[in-house]
Amino acid sequence: MIDFKFRGHTLEELQKMSLEDFAKIAGSRAKRNLLRNQSDPFYQRIEKDIKANKKIRTHKRDMIVIPKMIGKTIYVYSGKEFLPVEVTEDMLGHYLGEFVMTRKRIRHGKAGIGATKSSTAVSARK
């Protein structure tokens, strides 16, 4: 099995890092977001809830996945309901909202009665 590395750092090293240190090795957009929002109470709440093994639910789809979230399930709001996201190593530096779709797939069926001119001749009873 190949050990996971994120920009040359192992998972154990990443989980010991502070938020500022992780921001320095993250991509440019994630770095900007983390450095500007490091005082966001969500990041402190995550650490507290992870230690207490609490269920984490959030509307914040623009939160960056940090190493302390790895292995946890976070319920992210899709606009209608909270959907579970199992955080893995590959998600580091991405937004939580990237993993929860907000729209359903469109499935087209056949036209209903009255939907087309030809369907007016079809009786409503079958």
Question: Across the strands, what pairs with 82?
Answer: 77
Using a 10 angstrom Cβ sphere, with 0-12 exposed, 13-18 middle and 19 or more buried, the burial of residue 85 is buried
- Give the model confidence (pLDDT) of 27-50 as tens digits: 899 999 988 887 888 877 877 887
- Give me the residue spans of the domains in the chain: 5-102
pTM of model > 0.85? no
Contact at 8 Å (CB) between 64 and 91?
no
- Give the model confidence (pLDDT) of 71-111 as tens digits: 889 999 999 999 999 999 899 989 999 999 998 888 877 77
pLDDT of 116 > 80? The answer is: no
* CATH no., domain 5-102: 3.30.860.10
